[in-house]
Structure 1
Amino acid sequence: MSRTIHITLPDGSTKDFEAGVTVLEVAQSIGKRLARETVAGLIDGRLVDLRTPIEEDVELKIVTTRDPEGGEVIRHSAEHVLADAVKRIWPGTPIDAGRQDHSEKFQYDFRFPRPFRTEDFEKIEEEMRRIIKEDLPFERIEVTREEARRIMEERGEDIKLVRLEDIPEGETITLYRHGDFLDLCRGPHVQRTSQIGAVRLLEASGAYFKGDERNEMLQRIYGTAFPSKKELDAYFARLEEIKKRDHRKLGRELDLFSFHPEAPASPFFHPRGAIIYNALVDLMREKYRRYGYEEVITPQIFDISLWKRSG
């Protein structure tokens, strides 16, 4: 027997649905345009996949490509497209995992025989754009641990078998598929690859598996993605503006301070820099007095045992 649940939207209105309705189905009930732009949902403030069944009364915000959270989902999905592109160009390449924070970038680690080069980026980006143009749907698949293990073994993904063991017992295990690419992943992901819009690869580096130098060295690729090329270009324009305001660059150009090998990472303040430094100290001391704080002065050099103890 079906149950009715109540979903509260950001404007305070409430809609009734049968339990098990998905975020996307709620969006479809509101309007076609909203459904077309939906990439995820915020349920009681938690970002969830648009295919997630809703079983209880909740507060729901539909996340679209225009929302900051939407950008995170787009970059997460671009991560999968990156891995797919690498495997299309170099079939059989084992994959590891992406990153947790997609606020600005995505990344993926591969077992690859050499570092990735600039000419590789051109090929990979071209293949990524081809996959995006294919408009492939993302499919969320819930599996048992045994099913996930069998699938990854059949696909030769031995690194994924290690990652599978890291998933706590009792936690839902999900795979995501677009086209022939399949990955062990919690999500969330966009509806279709075309929602990713524009991508650019940034750099490559070596990375130890699980960040442990005792493990094998994998090859990592970083990139970013936005719903449109206009937004991608605007992002890089902002980065250029930030570079112009880099304190190390300004410090040198304005004759504020300099760095020397005798004191690594410690600035030598020039007369102009000392004026600014002392003005900031005076400002902070005035705020101490205003808000009732007392000043303390701690040593600048500590015994090495402190760093060993603190990690």
Structure 2
Amino acid sequence: MSTETITLTLPDGSSREVPAAATPLEVARTIGERLAKAAVAGQLDGTLVDLRAPVGRSGKFRVLTAKDPEAAAVIRHSAEHVLADAVERVFPGTIIDAGRQDHSEKFQYDFRIDHAFTQEDLERIEAEMARIVKEGRPFERRVVSREQAAEVFKGRKEEIKLVRLADIPEGDEITLFQHGEFVDLCRGPHVQRTDQIGAFKLIETSGAYFKGDERNEMLQRIYGTAFATREE
């Protein structure tokens, strides 16, 4: 086991020596349990770090909570996964594609389904999302091999995910995020639990070509947004 340590400089100017393998959540616990419970993500030199991922190197470090503006993108990203989970629950057999990379304003997911989503569908999906949020399901991060990831998605009969898996360059770390029964290829970051998603709204739906290429099949896309509180 590596004994390498790193130095993290906190917002108040103090510093902490921690193992390089320490996660932002573990660092938060050294500061205080209240902070750890409220934590949404870590931030190292301005870059978001998932709470369950190793910090890895020295730098200026912050623990973000829902009160921090930078946390909004993490909350939207997590709401995105809750959206996909809800669609699978409401419409069993739906094939999940992928979400978006930029969560500064909204989130989205693309789906292979046999009909175009209606406003009534969105209302049913929102209601299911509310149930998932209330469940307070923890987000779990797993680093897996390419073969392990393939087995997961073969078992779930999600062939689109196998295409997405093949797009990941050789040598890149492959991570899965799971809450409840839902699992997806994802780099994160995500909140600790679904109940840290304060408020959300599904905005609209549209058609979208797989991988943005009009030569590919048309999927159905749902857009939404989320915030830490309803007041936002």
TM-score range, shorter chain: over 0.9
- The residue that corresponds to 2:50 in the other structure is 49
Cα displacement string for residues 14-60 of structure 1 (whole angstroms, at most 9, x for unaligned residues): 11122311101111111222212211111122211011112332221
- The residue that corresponds to 2:108 in the other structure is 107
Counterpart of 2:191, as a letter, is: V
- What is the CA distance between 1:230 and its match in structure 2? 1.7
Aligned-partner Cα distance in 2 for 1:76–1:4: 31
- The residue that corresponds to 1:141 in the other structure is 142
* Counterpart mapping for 1:107-186 below 5 A: 107-186=108-187
Runs of 4+ in 1 over 6 A off after TM superposition: none
- The residue that corresponds to 2:203 in the other structure is 202
Counterpart of 1:51, as a letter, is: R
Matched position secondary structure for 2:12: coil
Counterpart of 1:179, as a letter, is: G
Aligned-partner Cα distance in 1 for 2:109–2:13: 40
Q: Does 1:7 align with 2:8?
A: yes
Aligned-partner Cα distance in 2 for 1:69–1:149: 33
Matched position secondary structure for 1:79: helix
* Counterpart mapping for 1:33-44 below 5 A: 33-44=34-45
- What is the CA distance between 1:4 and its match in structure 2? 2.8
- Give yes or no for contact 2:200–2:225 (8 Å, CA) kept in 1: yes
Aligned-partner Cα distance in 1 for 2:57–2:206: 44
Matched position secondary structure for 2:202: strand
Aligned-partner Cα distance in 1 for 2:45–2:34: 23
Mean Cα deviation higher: 26-35 or 116-125: 26-35
Cα displacement string for residues 277-305 of structure 1 (whole angstroms, at most 9, x for unaligned residues): xxxxxxxxxxxxxxxxxxxxxxxxxxxxx
- The residue that corresponds to 1:241 in the other structure is none
- What is the CA distance between 1:228 and its match in structure 2? 1.3
Taking CA–CA contacts closer than 8 Å with sequence separation of 6 or more, which of the two structures ends up with the larger relative contact order? 2
* Counterpart mapping for 1:220-299 below 5 A: 220-231=221-232
Going by fraction, where is helix more abundant, 1 or 2? 1
- The residue that corresponds to 1:190 in the other structure is 191
Alignment coverage as a number of residue pairs: 231
Going by fraction, where is strand more abundant, 1 or 2? 2
Mean Cα deviation higher: 85-94 or 26-35: 26-35
Counterpart of 1:82, as a letter, is: L
- Percent identity, aligned pairs only, is 64
Aligned-partner Cα distance in 2 for 1:7–1:170: 28
Larger radius of gyration: 1
Unaligned runs of 5+ in 2: none
Matched position secondary structure for 2:88: helix
Counterpart of 1:50, as a letter, is: L
Matched position secondary structure for 2:70: helix
Mean Cα deviation higher: 38-47 or 95-104: 38-47
Counterpart of 1:228, as a letter, is: T
TM-score w.r.t. structure 2 length? Answer: 0.96
Aligned-partner Cα distance in 1 for 2:182–2:154: 15
Cα displacement string for residues 46-105 of structure 1 (whole angstroms, at most 9, x for unaligned residues): 211011112332221212111222000000000000000000111121100011111110
Aligned-partner Cα distance in 2 for 1:177–1:72: 18
- The residue that corresponds to 2:76 in the other structure is 75
Alignment RMSD (CA, Å): 1.1
- The residue that corresponds to 1:59 in the other structure is 60
Matched position secondary structure for 1:15: strand
Matched position secondary structure for 1:53: coil
Unaligned runs of 5+ in 1: 232-311
- What is the CA distance between 1:205 and its match in structure 2? 0.1
Counterpart of 1:221, as a letter, is: I
Aligned-partner Cα distance in 1 for 2:18–2:49: 18
